[in-house]
Amino acid sequence: MKEREADGQIRYARAPCVTVRRATIADLERIMEIEVTAYSAPWHTQTMRSELEADPERKVYLVAEVDGWMAGYIGSHVFAGEVHIATVAVAPRYQRMGLGELLVLTMLAYAVEHGCDYVTLEYRISNRAAEQLYQKVGFIPVRVRTSYYIDNGEDAIVAEITNIRGSRYRKKLERLIERWGLRHEYDVHVII
Ligand SMILES: CC(C)(COP(=O)(O)OP(=O)(O)OC[C@H]1O[C@@H](n2cnc3c(N)ncnc32)[C@H](O)[C@@H]1OP(=O)(O)O)[C@@H](O)C(=O)NCCC(=O)NCCS
């Protein structure tokens, strides 16, 4: 519920409810709406469809909803004790509200809980938001894939977190989740 205050600003009368849940094929349309606004070279609908229809143990897709409205999603490929984060996007009007970080932290916690020890991803060398987000949660850039992106020939940075189930990273992850909770006034429900 929103209320208009004396200064004319709209503020939430209570903490917004943020739900992180598994994506289903019913989410395809809204995911694609976000995909085409968030990415310069979005995936085709058919690619996203096959991701959402794949074995949910191997392709883990989560969405974040704010008061029931999907604001972002993350998708990972899980295999042989490894997690590869293939995509994460937040709709422009919901960006800089902590949701991208919440999705990444939730996926990292999922990896730990499901016995995975190694997480990788890649991002465009020009993508400052992605770089800062991934650095914040502990990804280390390890190599460059030259001319990786076919739309503009841009390089990709490959980054990783090793030994995420070790006590050092688990403590870091706990601290990151705790700090996120202290900073963001949401009523959070994670159902995965
Ligand atoms: C990258 C993306 C998912 C971040 O989502 P978000 O919800 O806006 O990010 P958050 O509000 O959770 O921010 C978490 C951290 O990310 C970093 N960050 C996010 N947006 C940033 C920006 N525009 N510039 C610099 N750092 C940024 C910061 O480190 C931030 O921490 P801080 O708030 O303590 O500074 C979002 O910008 C997006 O959807 N971009 C388009 C798609 C994309 O590039 N995905 C990544 C592909 S590899």
Number of domains the chain is built from: 1
Ligand 1 centroid – CA 2 distance (Å): 25
pTM: 0.94
Q: Is the pLDDT of residue 124 over 80?
A: yes
- Ligand 1 centroid vs 6 CA: distance in angstroms? 32
Q: Report the CATH number that the domain containing residue 172 is assigned in CATH.
A: 3.40.630.30
Yes or no: say if 85 and 120 are a contact pair by the CB < 8 Å rule: yes
Angle, helices 99-113 vs 128-136, to 10°: value is: 50
For ligand 1, say whether the CB of 154 is within 6 Å of any of its atoms: no
State both tokens at 188: 């959070």
What H or E segment, with its residue span, contains residue 123? strand 118-124
Band (1; pLDDT cuts 50, 70, 90): very low
Spatial strand order of the sheet with 156-161 comes to 140-145, 156-161, 118-124, 82-90, 69-79, 59-66, 17-22, 187-191
How many A from CA of 110 to the centre of ligand 1? 20
Domain that holds residue 174: 2-191
Give tens-digit pLDDT for 20-51. 999 999 999 999 999 999 999 999 999 999 99
Distance CA 98, CA 76 (A): 19
Residue 75 CB less than 6 A away from ligand 1: no
Q: Is 100 in the pocket of ligand 1 (CB under 6 A)?
A: yes
Q: Strand 69-79 and strand 59-66: pairing?
A: antiparallel
Q: What angle do CA 115, 118, 123 make, to 5 degrees?
A: 135
Q: Annotated active-site positions, please?
A: 122, 134
Contact 92 CB / ligand 1 (< 6 Å): no
> Going by CA atoms, what residue is nearest to atom 7 of ligand 1?
100
* Cα 120 to middle of ligand 1, angstroms: 17
Q: Answer whether 48 contacts ligand 1 (Cβ < 6 A).
A: no
The DSSP call for residue 97 is S
pLDDT score of 81 more than 60: yes
Q: What proportion of the chain, given as a percentage, has pLDDT over 90?
A: 92
